[in-house]
């Protein structure tokens, strides 16, 4: 099974799409992919589909959606049958064995296939470990590979309920963390001039994201563009105060003061000085991929 969620939802079995077009079964499949190869309790599924409370016929509607998904899976599996079926083929490859009913819930069995979230987490973990080891070229490579898996917003086109919204928020947070460390690695490799344009676009999108603004300020400083770096700080400050009434963090303020000091130091070579250490994003001590936090531990007996 090929599962892609870092963009629009796409689930394929034997190269055939099993992603329904109707909103409710599409949402159900999305939730099952978020906890692929794990049992998702019926209570979790009903909470996602009916956050305001399940209707009286919720169980019957849920079963109808499960049946629709299994019909799509069965159609895809028919194309996987060999010209001369081997003994036991049909028993191993059935829709019920892919979308499995288990006590208290359902499990989507990927059969060891591809899941882009798992790929993202493996590449990100390798990148974080390389950062810890000080191997910046490898860190930049593996973190870049993780980011390249993103085709758009996670679960785009899916009507997300409370559970999927939490998963989307988790994935977006993970992506920003990886992006932060990728830029950090690129700056460490001296690629500040190449980053200015991309960082300018990123801070326009994430108007209150301090790490990205700090990286832009450092890149501009290294390029000798002191006024532009100070302007980036003022835009961040305006966005923060306008949205939450808060000032930039103490670390950002220290970076701001450092840039002012460099600008007002006559004759000081830009490239001879180390980048001010006022803002230094932390590298996670250990990266542990989390396939899903949708299903509480112990929720299924």
What's the pLDDT tens digit per position in 276-300? 444 444 444 444 444 444 444 444 3
Per-residue pLDDT tens digits for 93-122: 699 999 999 999 999 999 989 999 999 999
pTM of the shown model: 0.82
CA 105 to chain centroid:
26
Give the pLDDT of residue 286.
Answer: 41
Confidence of residue 14 (pLDDT cuts 50, 70, 90): confident
Residue 293 has what DSSP assignment? S
CA distance 5 to 61: 25
CB 48 within 8 A of CB 32: no
Under DSSP, is residue 196 helix (H, G, I), strand (E, B) or coil? helix
Look over the chain and give the mean of its residue pLDDT values, rounded to a whole number. 86
Number of domains in the chain: 2
Q: Which domain holds residue 215?
A: 131-263
Q: Are residues 36 and 106 in the same domain?
A: yes
Judge whether 285 lies within some domain: no
Residue 50 has what DSSP assignment? -
Buried b (16+ CB within 10 A) or exposed e, 190-216: eebeebbeebeebbeebebbbbbbbbb
Residue 213: CA count within 13 A, CB half-sphere: 25
Q: How many CB atoms lie within 10 A of CB 51?
A: 12
Pairing of strands 10-13, 2-4: antiparallel
Six-digit token string for 23: 């909103």
Q: Are residues 54 and 111 in the same domain?
A: yes
Q: Are residues 8 and 111 in the same domain?
A: yes
CATH of the domain at 88: 1.10.10.10
**Cα-Cα-Cα-Cα dihedral of 258, 260, 265, 270, to 10°?**
70
CB 199 within 8 A of CB 215: yes
Q: In a 10 Å sphere around its CB, with 0-12 CB exposed, 13-18 middle and 19+ buried, how is residue 235 labelled? A: middle
Mean of pLDDT values over 147-154? 96
Q: Are residues 108 and 165 in the same domain?
A: no
CATH of the domain at 230: 1.25.40.10
Six-digit token string for 64: 């109808």
């Amino acid at each position: 099974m090929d599962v892609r969620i870092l963009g629009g939802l796409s689930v394929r079995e034997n190269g055939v799409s099993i992603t329904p077009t109707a909103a409710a079964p599409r949402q159900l499949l999305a939730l099952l992919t978020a906890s692929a190869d794990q049992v998702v309790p019926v209570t979790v599924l009903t909470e996602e589909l009916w956050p305001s409370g399940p209707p009286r016929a919720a169980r019957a509607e849920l079963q109808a959606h499960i049946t629709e998904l299994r019909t799509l899976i069965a159609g895809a599996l028919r194309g996987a049958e060999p010209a001369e079926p081997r003994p036991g083929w049909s028993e191993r490859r059935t829709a019920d064995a892919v979308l499995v009913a288990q006590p208290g819930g359902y499990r989507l069995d990927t059969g060891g296939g591809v899941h882009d979230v798992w790929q993202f987490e493996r590449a990100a973990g390798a990148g974080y470990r390389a950062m810890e080891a000080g191997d910046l070229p490898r860190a930049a490579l593996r973190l870049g590979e993780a980011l390249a898996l993103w085709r758009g917003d996670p679960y785009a086109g899916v009507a997300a309920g409370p559970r999927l919204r939490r998963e989307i928020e988790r994935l977006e947070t993970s992506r920003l963390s990886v992006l932060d460390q990728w830029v950090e690695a690129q700056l460490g490799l001296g690629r500040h001039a190449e980053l200015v344009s991309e960082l300018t676009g990123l801070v326009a999108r994430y108007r209150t994201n301090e790490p990205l603004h700090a990286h832009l300020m450092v890149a501009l400083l290294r390029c000798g563009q002191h006024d532009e770096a100070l302007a980036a700080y003022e835009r961040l400050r305006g966005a923060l105060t306008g949205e939450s009434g808060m000032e930039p963090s103490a670390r950002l303020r220290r970076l701001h003061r450092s840039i002012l000091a460099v600008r007002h130091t006559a004759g000081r070579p830009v490239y001879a000085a180390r980048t001010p250490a006022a803002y230094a994003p932390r590298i996670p001590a250990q990266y542990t991929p989390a396939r899903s936090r949708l299903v509480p531990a112990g929720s299924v007996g």
